[in-house]
Chain A
Amino acid sequence: MIEFVRNVRLWFAPEEVRDEGSTPDYRFSLANERTFLAWLRTALALIGGGFAVDQFLPDLRWGWRVGLALALLASGVLCSLRAIDHWVRCERAMRRGEDLPASRFPALLGVLVAVVAVAMVVVVLAGWEG
């Protein structure tokens, strides 16, 4: 968590990132940038899913609908913040010549999406029954 707060400062201070180590091959930086963009798209897809739950499941009870939508939106926010955090950490590791940071986040996100998907199936089936 303290590491995260320290990284937040780096988001706004490009000079500090550039101060450390040596500039890597620009192709590695571009690959890191594309990974960042892919995570940002994942976040946007989750946010779009939040909108979709709200609009395309209008027969759901209010609590379920808003709960699912907010869960998707919150995971979208988390995913986008993690995207930039991971980008900064990878960029720094490459400049220092260290190993790239390992991350539990993909597994966490996978489990979360699976849980939301199962919840949606249950909710839609229950909606048809009722």
Chain B
Amino acid sequence: MSTDAAGPSRDPGLQPERTRLAWRRTTLSVTVAAVLAVKSALHGGATADSIVVGAVCCALWLGFLLVAHGRIRALAAGRPPTLAPRLATAAVLCAVAMAVCAAALVT
């Protein structure tokens, strides 16, 4: 870490902020996918099955939101800790589960 006139805690690259915004962008992408999933579930006569799949997609969106929120809070610390593999795996599993829901809705 560089220590310049502004003090030892100043990071000229704004790395935590950029990482926080990357999490926000990713959350937005998940939101778009979830909205498309709900639209797909309700499109053309919603059956009980498709409503359940749509609800699962909403739950996945909420899960990803919690993961992202937890990470964003951790990044606010002065010296942010490394991303825990468990969080990364949870984020990826949300995406994979959403793809599985999509496959169920499409076929």
Contact = CB atoms under 8 A, between A and B. Distances in A.
A26 B11 CA distance: 11
A48 interface: yes
Q: Is the interface of A mostly helix, strand, loop or mixed?
A: helix
A40 B87 CA distance: 13
A10 B88 contact: no
A68 B98 CA distance: 17
Interface residues of A, number: 46
Interface in B69-107: 79-86, 88-89, 91-92, 95-96, 98-100, 102-103, 105-107
Interface residues of B, number: 42
B33 A27 contact: no
Interface of A: 10-14, 17-18, 23, 25-27, 29-31, 33-34, 36-38, 40-41, 43-45, 47-48, 50-52, 54-55, 65-66, 69-70, 73-74, 76-77, 80-81, 83-84, 87-88, 91
